[in-house]
Amino acid sequence: MSGRVLVGVKRVIDYAVKIRVKPDNSGVVTDGVKHSMNPFCEIAVEEAVKLKEKKLIKEVVAVSCGPQQSQETIRTALAMGADRGIHVEVAGKDYETLGPLQVSKIMAALAKKEDAQLIILGKQAIDDDCNQTGQMTAALLDWPQGTFASEVSLDGDKVKVVREIDGGLETIKISTPAVLTADLRLNTPRYATLPNIMKAKKKKIANVKPADLGVDLTSRLEVLKVEEPPQRQAGVKVETVEDLVGKLKETGRI
């Protein structure tokens, strides 16, 4: 086995930022807004780096699809311990319509090209909440998938994954190569330490175009409208139980 792990990292609007909808309702405001690595992608990177530290895998490659700024996200992954990066350049209109289907095609192509043993992704991105890329990538490659992972252990050419599911925890054993998606409790991502941040500046980030990978970026989805959720109305205070019953009847609740 190559011992190589591909980790997908997505550049999203930082989760602490207040989101604003564009006046024309076509999307959210991204210009001048603080962006950072998707929190679930951070967990994915952390897991990959941990596996390398345990000497269970040999190389961690961080991949990001997007415009020039995606390189910052890759640098963060490098500062956390990834060995090298691949920046798949997608900009302009293509970037606006870039979704799980396109990204999974790119990841699948890269996985073959890099002879990856494992692909680790975040379970979903906090901007679109799709939760599809990992699953689609596995399907395209016809690889097994361990999604919503809260615990991962490598055992020879098999991976034991404890998954977070509605009913509790499910443990499965899948063979490699495989796709894993990281859930919240998988680990706590490390802070990138200064020495590593300095070292990361020297690590390589390769530039690749989707066309080079033979990937068609056409989207089958069209965003019609983006709007804010309805404003929460203020509550009404009542003095007595009779008042409460009266108000409930008034608003047709009972």
Partner 1 sequence: MAGIFQRTVRLRAAVRHLCPHSTLTCAARLSPADFHGPFLTCTSGQFVASTRKLHVEPKSSSAGAPERLPFSKVTDEDLAYFRKILPGRTITDPDLVESSNVDWLKTVKGSSEVLLRPQTTEEVSQILRYCYNRNLAVNPQGGNTGLVGGSVPVYDEIVLSTSLMNNILTFDNISGILTCQAGCVLENLSLYLEERDYIMPLDLGAKGSCQIGGNVATNAGGLRLLRYGSLHGTVLGLEVVLADGRVLDCLATLRKDNTGYDLKQLFIGSEGTLGVITAVSILCPRKPKSTNVVFLGCETFEELLKTFQLCRGMLGEILSAFEFLDSECMRLLNTHLKLPNPISDCPFYIVIETSGSDPDHDSQKLDNFLEEAIASTFVTDGTVATEESKIKALWSMRERVTEALTHDGFTYKYDISLPVERIYQLVTDMRQHLGDRAKSVVGYGHVGDGNLHLNITSPAKDPALLAAIEPFVYEWTASCQGSISAEHGLGLKKRNYIYYSKPSQAVALMGNIKAMLDPKGILNPYKTLPDNLK
Nearer to partner 1, 35 or 87 (CB): 35
Nearer to partner 1, 218 or 231 (CB): 231
Q: How far apart are the first and last CA of the chain?
A: 65
Nearer to partner 1, 11 or 163 (CB): 11
Nearer to partner 1, 47 or 137 (CB): 47
**Residues 114 and 132 sit within 8 Å (Cβ to Cβ):** no
Q: In the bound complex, what is the minimum distance in angstroms from residue 14's beta carbon to partner 1?
A: 4
Comparing CA positions, the residue from 175, 138, 170 lying closest to residue 156 is 175
Query: Which residues make beta-bridge pairs with 151?
Result: 162
Nearer to partner 1, 17 or 238 (CB): 17
Nearer to partner 1, 198 or 211 (CB): 198
DSSP 91-155: -HHHHHT--HHHHHHHHHHHHHHHT-SEEEEES--TTT----HHHHHHHHHT--EEEEEEEEEEE
Query: Which residues make beta-bridge pairs with 121?
Result: 181
Give contact residues for partner 1 (rule: CB under 8 A): 14-17, 32, 34-37, 39, 188, 191-195, 197-198
| Integer Cα distance of 121 and 169 in angstroms | 19
Q: In the bound complex, what is the minimum distance in angstroms from residue 251's beta carbon to partner 1?
A: 25
Q: In the bound complex, what is the minimum distance in angstroms from residue 195's beta carbon to partner 1?
A: 7
Nearer to partner 1, 160 or 199 (CB): 199
| Integer Cα distance of 135 and 123 in angstroms | 9
DSSP 21: B
Q: In the bound complex, what is the minimum distance in angstroms from residue 35's beta carbon to partner 1?
A: 8
Q: In the bound complex, what is the minimum distance in angstroms from residue 71's beta carbon to partner 1?
A: 13
Q: In the bound complex, what is the minimum distance in angstroms from residue 104's beta carbon to partner 1?
A: 26
Burial 128-147 (b: 16+ CB within 10 A, else e): eebbbbbbbbbebbebbbbb
| Integer Cα distance of 178 and 120 in angstroms | 9
Q: In the bound complex, what is the minimum distance in angstroms from residue 110's beta carbon to partner 1?
A: 26
